[in-house]
Structure 1
Amino acid sequence: MKEWFGSAAVCINEKNEILMVKGYNSDMWAIPSGGIEEGETPEECCVREVLEETGYEVVIMDKLFIKKTTIKDIKVKTHYFKVKKVGESIGINDPDKIIEEVDWKLLSDIEKIKHAYPEDKEFLVNIIRNSVDTEKTLG
């Protein structure tokens, strides 16, 4: 069985919005993610993919979890990281030419948009809720 290894970035801004991307000919959103290239660490892949797909430079804050699944007979292992953006976007520079749109989504958006990976929806909703709760506690 073929294997695929990738990284995904959960980036929440100061308004508690989450960074999402949408591909061409699709109405489904996902967090920035992509395949790990030869010689690359999961962390390096995560930072590179966010830059390519959204134009944002990010730093890794935390390793969240590893999602293991099988898609069309391919064993998929994706490393999820919490990241923080540094500065503003320089624009999409996706070498794969698959990303059409980048947007910051509120909790209410996350609950109603179509997800490319529906299994991520609950986790994304929870991470935003936790971020909001943490702010209230710290505020």
Structure 2
Amino acid sequence: MDAFSVFYMRQTISQVPDELLDAAAIDAAGTLRTFWSVVVPVIRPGLAALAVLTFFNIYNDLVWPIVAVNDPARQTVSVLLAGLATNVTGGSTSSGFDLWGQLMAACTIATIPTVIIFLLVQRHFIKGLLAGSVK
């Protein structure tokens, strides 16, 4: 867990109203029950945003997979796209123009998981945006 994640969640949790925590204490809820039943539903949009940002960070990582993975059959999508882009611009083939279509198709396919992840957590973003709009 990096420093951004810790700071982001600390700021998100600090915005939970004290009135909700006091109400849970009056209802004799313990610490774990208060966290699970009161805090987690309130910070769910922040958790969704952090999940998407963390997924994008890991999915787009280039340096660590280049260093750690030696087998070409186990390369990540970012490494494969970087290699394909190098072939297009470096001219490892006689005509680099025929690889542009493959590069664009590969980039389009590589964006599909990110779109799916966003669509799965989209409703949490909408709840977070509308949380303070209605009294």
Please give the range of the TM-score, normalised by the shorter of the 2 chains: under 0.3
Between Structure 1 and Structure 2, the one with more strand by share is 1
Larger radius of gyration: 2
Between Structure 1 and Structure 2, the one with more helix by share is 2
- Bigger RCO (CA 8 Å, 6+ sep): 1
Could you tell me the TM-score, scaled by structure 2's length?
A: 0.24
